[in-house]
């Protein structure tokens, strides 16, 4: 099968290097061109573009089936987004649930996804996912991955499921990486898998009949080579590493620089170049806000406000650039809060409060002490302090008259105990005593909502619904909008990436005899 690859693999990857972990910069970049050319001269059963959450399971399962598999990875290491992912995964009908007496099924999972997303997902893909998600969890368990002891839970950070089917390991995304890595290392050592790092796919090779025949990629020396394959899988992640592509695939700017920097939407460009198309952009949704470091974006991330009223009921009021409140600040539904921020100009708002609130309230930012917060008003671009509301409005760019009217209306509601405008119930103090404070918050997404359209065999399709022969895709390149809809549904990025990568190699690719 891939005996010839075995000797080649040893030249550019060793198990010892793998066990050092993702921080290791592997010497692959220095791979001599003749070796790359030797790999390019072969006929592969499967070339996978991208060695992350979707690409690695695909590589493992295809290699285990005896396929000749080559992974082209643009960065200097494998794992992709797993180095920063929350690692939160959802699945129904797992052994973890059975051990805790939790009754669940793929049908109930499907219903819950439909409920949370209000039916905005691609139902066929969600169906394929929920029917296969438990097997992914069971597979990870066999590889040594373990969830936190009290898991599964119903949710964290996102709209909760009705049944506890949500879990992650102690090192979050890295827990998944540490389960996959030794398996990859074994297959490399046995010569059953080949990986080229620092090798960026730039084009797809297409036969005259439209079917895909391989990948052209650029190595670290800038030289290009063709890798011919019976099947090609695009697993290049989202576009959070490229502001222009992110804007194109989300219809919204890339505000925060948090995604894996090598993910620049290349898979979408490759898929489109052979007739594929993008869907899901209309489902873009921002989160309910964070503090960025800079006014220019994409900006580094600075701090997370505690906006979940279950953990910290709000003391501040939230106003948009017009100086108006726009939501019930203590709405228990994170989905409602996210959609409220999405409707604001530039998805931006300010938490406004006064000196008594600063003194009496628990810290507003996760992990920040009161002293840190107080100091930030003299140092941080997003923190403004002023002697009057008019001055606060001037420094923040808010409409001053509206802000003064908004605060007066809120203070009246606070005094009467009845917020007729929005129905907020937690109103411990008025916003009345100078100095006044504002912290600028930005709603943003780190995930890419628009992605390649595929059928239920995960083949990239054209607008007429026909499949482009030999071309598969999985992971965030499919777009968050397809599997999570116009919402953040828990675990609906990482778990489908792992699951669809596995399915492509287990069930869907055709191997050469
Ligand atoms: C901070 C953060 C937290 C998250 N938390 C969660 C969570 O808790 N739960 C959840 O469900 N989802 C979460 N996600 C999303 C989820 O982790 C990702 O959607 C998923 O890991 C993406 O998998 P992937 O295989 O599509 O991409 P990746 O794992 O990023 O892999 C893509 C790979 O393709 C490579 N590549 C890109 N372009 C090329 C090219 N031209 N040629 C060759 N290689 C290329 C990249 O270098 C990368 O290694 C989170 C994301 C982030 C950023």
Task: Give residue 28's pLDDT.
Answer: 42
> Is the model's pLDDT at 20 over the cut of 90?
no
> Is the model's pLDDT at 13 over the cut of 50?
no
Calpha distance 392→411 (Å, rounded): 17
**Tens digits of residue pLDDT in 226-283:** 999 999 999 999 999 999 999 999 999 999 999 999 999 999 999 999 999 999 999 9
Question: 403 CB less than 6 Å from ligand 1?
Answer: no
Strand 224-234 relative to strand 467-473, pairing: parallel
Is the link from the previous residue into 152 a cis peptide, with omega within 30 of 0? yes
Provide the pLDDT confidence category of residue 34 given band limits of 50, 70 and 90.
low
Q: What's the CA-to-centroid distance between 82 and ligand 1, angstroms?
A: 7
Pocket test for ligand 1, best of 202, 494, 498, 501 (most atoms within 8 A of CB): 494
> Is the model's pLDDT at 14 over the cut of 80?
no
Q: What's the CA-to-centroid distance between 81 and ligand 1, angstroms?
A: 4
**Under 8 Å between Cβ of 271 and 478:** no
Q: Which of 36-40, 182-186, 195-199, 333-337 has the lowest mean pLDDT?
A: 36-40
Question: 85 CB less than 6 Å from ligand 1?
Answer: yes
Question: 475 CB less than 6 Å from ligand 1?
Answer: yes
Q: What's the CA-to-centroid distance between 294 and ligand 1, angstroms?
A: 25
Question: 72 CB less than 6 Å from ligand 1?
Answer: yes
Which residues share a beta bridge with 216? 203, 226
Is the link from the previous residue into 435 a cis peptide, with omega within 30 of 0? yes
Strand 166-167 relative to strand 451-452, pairing: unpaired
Q: What's the CA-to-centroid distance between 476 and ligand 1, angstroms?
A: 6
Angle between helical axes of 3-12 and 33-40 (0-180°, round to 10) = 150
Q: What's the CA-to-centroid distance between 72 and ligand 1, angstroms?
A: 15
Q: Which of 27-41, 192-206, 407-421, 425-439 has the lowest mean pLDDT?
A: 27-41
Supply the DSSP symbol for 84: T
Q: How far apart are the first and last CA of the chain?
A: 10
Question: 55 CB less than 6 Å from ligand 1?
Answer: yes
Percent of the chain with pLDDT over 70: 93
Structure tokens at 321: 């650039």
Calpha distance 281→264 (Å, rounded): 16
Which of ligand 1's atoms lies nearest the C-alpha of 494? 11
Give 138's contacts (C-beta < 8 A, 6+ positions apart): 94, 95
* Over residues 61-65, mean pLDDT: 96
- Which residue is closest in CA terms to ligand 1's atom 35? 50
Question: 198 CB less than 6 Å from ligand 1?
Answer: no
Question: 271 CB less than 6 Å from ligand 1?
Answer: no
Calpha distance 264→162 (Å, rounded): 35
Distances in Å between the Cα of 234 and the Cα atoms of 217, 267, 361, 454 are 13, 6, 49, 11
Calpha distance 113→494 (Å, rounded): 15
> Is the model's pLDDT at 181 over the cut of 60?
yes
Distances in Å between the Cα of 101 and the Cα atoms of 23, 52, 98 are 39, 33, 5
> Is the model's pLDDT at 8 over the cut of 50?
no
Strand 301-303 relative to strand 194-196, pairing: unpaired
Which residues share a beta bridge with 318? 351
Distances in Å between the Cα of 222 and the Cα atoms of 181, 198, 201 are 28, 10, 12
Q: How many CB atoms lie within 10 A of CB 248?
A: 17
List of E strands, 299-377: 301-303, 317-319, 348-354
Per the listing, tokens 């916003």 go with: 431
Instruction: Go through 277-312 and write b for each residue having 16 or more CB atoms within 10 A of its CB, e for each that does not.
Output: ebbbbebbbbbbbbbbbeeebbbebbbbbbbbbeeb
Question: 468 CB less than 6 Å from ligand 1?
Answer: no
Sheet holding 436-442, edge to edge: 317-319, 348-354, 436-442, 383-386
Question: 242 CB less than 6 Å from ligand 1?
Answer: no
**Helix (H), strand (E), coil (C) string for 192-242:** CCEEECCCEEEEEEECCCCCEEEEEEECCCCCEEEEEEEEEEECCCCCCCC
Task: Give residue 509's pLDDT.
Answer: 83
**Tens digits of residue pLDDT in 45-57:** 999 999 999 999 9
Q: What's the CA-to-centroid distance between 58 and ligand 1, angstroms?
A: 14
Element housing 440 (H / E): strand 436-442
Question: 334 CB less than 6 Å from ligand 1?
Answer: no
Supply the DSSP symbol for 363: P
Pocket test for ligand 1, best of 232, 237, 241, 497 (most atoms within 8 A of CB): 237
Task: Give residue 512's pLDDT.
Answer: 64
Q: Nearest 5°: phi and psi at 425? A: -110, -25
- Which residue is closest in CA terms to ligand 1's atom 42? 200
Pocket test for ligand 1, best of 25, 36, 50 (most atoms within 8 A of CB): 50
Q: What's the CA-to-centroid distance between 509 and ligand 1, angstroms?
A: 22
Q: What's the CA-to-centroid distance between 107 and ligand 1, angstroms?
A: 27
* Over residues 165-190, mean pLDDT: 95
Task: Give residue 118's pLDDT.
Answer: 97
Alpha-carbon dihedral angle through residues 296, 476, 56, 218, given to the nearest 10 degrees: -60
Question: 81 CB less than 6 Å from ligand 1?
Answer: yes
Please say whether the dihedral angle defined by the alpha carbons of residues 417, 423, 426 and 432, taken in this order, is positive or negative.
Answer: negative
Give 223's contacts (C-beta < 8 A, 6+ positions apart): 33, 36
Calpha distance 410→412 (Å, rounded): 5
Confirm whether pTM is higher than 0.75.
Answer: yes
Q: What's the CA-to-centroid distance between 202 and ligand 1, angstroms?
A: 18
Calpha distance 75→217 (Å, rounded): 13
Calpha distance 262→83 (Å, rounded): 13
Nearest to 290 by CA among 332, 242, 233, 338: 338
Question: 497 CB less than 6 Å from ligand 1?
Answer: yes
């Amino acid at each position: 099968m891939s005996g010839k690859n075995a000797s080649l693999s040893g030249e550019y990857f060793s198990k010892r290097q793998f066990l050092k972990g993702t921080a290791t910069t592997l010497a692959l970049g220095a791979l001599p061109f003749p070796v790359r050319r030797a790999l390019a001269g072969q006929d592969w059963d499967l070339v996978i573009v991208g060695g992350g959450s979707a690409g690695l399971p695909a590589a493992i399962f295809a290699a285990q089936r005896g396929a000749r598999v080559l992974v082209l990875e643009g960065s200097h290491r494998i794992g992709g987004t797993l180095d920063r992912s929350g690692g939160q995964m959802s699945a129904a009908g797992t052994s973890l649930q059975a051990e805790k007496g939790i009754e669940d099924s793929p049908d109930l999972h499907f219903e819950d996804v439909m409920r949370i997303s209000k039916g905005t997902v691609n139902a066929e893909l969600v169906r394929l996912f929920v029917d296969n998600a438990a097997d992914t969890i069971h597979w990870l368990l066999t590889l040594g991955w373990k969830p936190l002891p009290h898991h599964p839970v119903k949710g964290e950070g996102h709209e909760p499921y009705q049944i506890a089917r949500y879990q992650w390991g102690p090192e979050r995304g890295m827990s998944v990486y540490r389960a996959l890595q030794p398996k990859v290392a074994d297959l490399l050592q046995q010569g059953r898998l080949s990986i080229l790092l620092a090798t960026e796919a730039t084009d797809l090779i297409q036969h005259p009949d439209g079917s895909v025949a391989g990948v052209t990629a650029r190595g670290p020396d800038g030289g290009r080579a063709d890798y011919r394959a019976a099947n090609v899988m695009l697993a290049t992640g989202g576009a959070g590493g490229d502001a222009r592509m992110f804007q194109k695939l989300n219809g919204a700017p890339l505000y925060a620089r948090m995604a894996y920097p090598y993910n620049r939407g290349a898979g979408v460009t490759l898929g489109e170049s052979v007739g594929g198309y993008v869907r899901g952009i209309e489902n873009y949704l921002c989160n309910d806000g964070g503090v960025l470091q800079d006014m220019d974006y994409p900006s580094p991330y600075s701090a997370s406000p505690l906006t979940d009223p279950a953990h910290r009921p709000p003391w501040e009021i939230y106003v948009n650039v017009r100086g108006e409140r726009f939501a019930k600040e203590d709405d228990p539904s994170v989905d409602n809060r996210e959609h409220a921020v999405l409707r604001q100009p530039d998805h931006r708002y300010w938490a406004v409060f006064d000196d008594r609130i600063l003194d009496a309230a628990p810290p507003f930012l996760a992990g920040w002490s009161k002293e840190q917060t107080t100091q930030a008003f003299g140092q941080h671009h997003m923190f403004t302090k002023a002697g009057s509301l008019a001055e606060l409005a001037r420094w923040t760019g808010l409409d001053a008259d509206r802000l003064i009217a908004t605060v007066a209306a809120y203070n009246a509601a606070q005094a009467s105990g009845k917020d007729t405008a929005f129905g907020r119930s937690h109103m411990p103090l008025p916003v009345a005593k100078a100095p006044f404070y504002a912290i600028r918050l930005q709603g943003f997404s780190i995930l890419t909502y628009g992605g390649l359209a595929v059928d239920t065999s995960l083949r990239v399709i054209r607008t007429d619904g026909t499949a482009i022969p030999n071309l598969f895709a999985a992971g965030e390149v499919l777009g968050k909008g397809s599997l999570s809809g116009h919402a953040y549904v828990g675990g609906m990025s990482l778990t489908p990436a792992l699951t669809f990568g596995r399915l492509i190699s287990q069930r869907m690719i055709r191997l050469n005899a």
